[in-house]
Amino acid sequence: GKTTAKAQYGIARGTMAHHATDLWAPAFMRAERAYWGSWIHGGGWAGQHYWEHYRFTQDKAFLRNRAYPILKSLSEFYLDWLVWDEKSKSWVSTPETSPENSYIADDGQPAAVSFGSAMGHQIIAEVFDNTLEAAKILDIDDDFVKEVSEKRKDLHPGVVVGADGRILEWNEPYEEPEKGHRHMSHLYALHPGDAITAENQAAFNAAQKTIDFRLQHGGAGTGWSRAWMISFNARLLDSISATQNIRKFFEISIADNLFDEHPPFQIDGNFGFTAGVAELLLQSHEGFLRILPAIPTDWAKGKISGLKARGNIEVDIEWEKGKLTKLGLKSAQAQSINVKYGELEQEVILPAGLKVKFDGALNRVDI
């Protein structure tokens, strides 16, 4: 990644990886067309996994020795990649693409390369924010941290609501030749990112409208795209749509052996579906635990044990007739955490290493 940054882009510090980076770790651009292969944020997205590993495990040694060096190196690349835009008075990522999608350019023809894109700015903002938070935890306050903090303040926003109420995919409200495109890259901030939550109602509603528009024009046709949609539904607390998309996934997106079909086979859909199931049952990205946030309407009865929430909390859940009946929480370290179930909200104290049990009304029952 460092070699690619320097050799291809002339950026002497930091690391990056393109969209086609895989298990064999080639960071270089492998693309005949910018439309699908010139996207530069593979490294930035991968950086989220290092930060999330820390959030789930609270492993400070991992944060110091593995996550922070990666986040720092990714941030260094982005610091030198961004360009100042006098028009918007902000730092813009360019040249950009929104993976595999295109817009109608001024000459009336489809184009892929743009001056800024939503997903790019969302990922850069996330990398900067995670780097700054990690530095704070590790008591690092050097010139590099100050540089990230300053550039983050004027970074072009990745979540912009357009005049039609949808989230813009590019910096400008371009028309799209493929209105039902299978990618919904501009919703990265909804999932797997966490910048769009119910706390920001305008962006929350715009995300739903963005999804509605794509589906009305035939979107989410591939298996992995349908699986991603389930996680969107979960984050939007939409159990009805989640139920519909789960049914669609099994009806049209998998083979007889349950392999996800693009076609052909793509593991993205299988892994994406399991991730979506977890999101339907438990969410912790907002700083609290949300229990059964979007349980499908036909999952009337069930239980799950050993789900992990951020903060290194182990969660057991049981429900009947679609309603929570039992909840168990076990934290590796003593802490307090807010728990939400529907309209109920309770701050709970968790001792280290002991399971605490609650009923469906979030009343503690093991005292």
The pLDDT value recorded for residue 19 is: 82
Q: At 359, is the secondary structure helix, strand, or coil?
A: strand
The pLDDT value recorded for residue 334 is: 98
Decide: 90 and 27 in contact? Cβ < 8 Å.
Answer: no
- Tell me yes or no: is domain 1-166 CATH 1.50.10.10: yes
The pLDDT value recorded for residue 367 is: 65
Decide: 293 and 316 in contact? Cβ < 8 Å.
Answer: no
State how far the Cα of 283 lies from the Cα of 291, in Å rounded to an integer: 7
Chunk the chain into consecutive blocks of 10 residues (it has 367) and report each block's average pLDDT, rounded to whole numbers.
93 92 76 84 96 98 98 98 97 95 96 97 98 98 98 98 97 94 94 97 97 88 89 98 95 93 89 97 98 97 98 98 98 98 97 97 89
Domain 1-166 and domain 298-367, same fold? Reply is no
Decide: 91 and 154 in contact? Cβ < 8 Å.
Answer: yes
Q: At 93, is the secondary structure helix, strand, or coil?
A: coil
The pLDDT value recorded for residue 209 is: 97
Which of 72, 172, 165, 183 shows the shortest CA–CA distance to 127? 72
**pLDDT tens-digit map of 340-359:** 999 999 999 999 999 999 99
The pLDDT value recorded for residue 116 is: 97
Q: What angle do CA 197, 198, 199 make, to 5 degrees?
A: 90
Q: Return the H-helix or E-strand segment holding 53.
A: helix 42-57
Q: How far is CA 155 from CA 90, 171, 187, in A?
A: 5, 12, 18
Q: How far is CA 179 from CA 174, 176, 183, 252, in A?
A: 11, 6, 10, 21
Q: Which amino acid is at 13?
A: R
State how far the Cα of 232 lies from the Cα of 161, in Å rounded to an integer: 17
Decide: 6 and 73 in contact? Cβ < 8 Å.
Answer: no
Q: Which amino acid is at 329?
A: L
Q: Tell me the CATH class for 298-367.
A: mainly beta
The pLDDT value recorded for residue 189 is: 98
Q: At 193, is the secondary structure helix, strand, or coil?
A: coil
The pLDDT value recorded for residue 114 is: 96
- Look up the pTM and report it: 0.96
All structural domains of the chain with their residue ranges:
1-166, 298-367
The pLDDT value recorded for residue 255 is: 93
State how far the Cα of 274 lies from the Cα of 264, in Å rounded to an integer: 19
